[in-house]
Amino acid sequence: GNLDVSNSMFRNSQQGILSGTDPSATIRIDRSTFSGLGLCASDCAHSIYVGRYAALEITRSRFERGTGGHYIKSRAPRVTVSDSSFDDTAGQATNYMIDLPAGARGMIANNIFVQGENKENWSAFVAVSAEGQDNPSAGLVIRDNEASLAPGVDRNTFFVADWSGDALQIASNDLGSGISVFDRR
């Protein structure tokens, strides 16, 4: 069924939210904090991992101090992540900020991203279809976000890495030094 989470904190554990499968349901998260999550010996944990739900909607939430995995990993075909912050400055062995491994449509907008030094995978902030193309990604909107590297971090990375080959709509993002907009993989 549907899951609505608001004004909640998930701190210092393996995983914040892990869903099963419900292709007719939506997970909505608003004004919540995910901090110190993702540590699992077999690389199985993330701050949020949504399976095959109809949609994931995250608004006005904070992600910080990840201890492994991705901050958001979602297999839902519709995704909205807006007005949220991702502060990886104190993260340890983290991966992507947002991973849409099967692709998705929807919007990633008005977020602030800071990529820290101690990442397991720093090649991109947002990954689309890295594990397959179960969901179409044509028309996925990624706009009006701010992304930077943490102070003292000096490397080159990409804001969006895409394996789908679909036409994504990436526009008006404010990217800091060392961050290129897009990489087709």
Query: How does pLDDT run across 3-47, given as a tens digit for each residue?
Result: 999 999 999 998 999 999 999 999 999 999 999 998 877 667 899
- The total of other beta-carbon atoms located within 10 Å of residue 146's CB is 14
Query: How does pLDDT run across 66-112, given as a tens digit for each residue?
Result: 999 999 999 999 999 999 999 999 999 999 999 999 999 999 999 99
Model-level pTM greater than 0.95? yes
Q: Which two tokens stand for residue 176?
A: 């800091």
* End-to-end Cα, the chain, rounded Å: 35
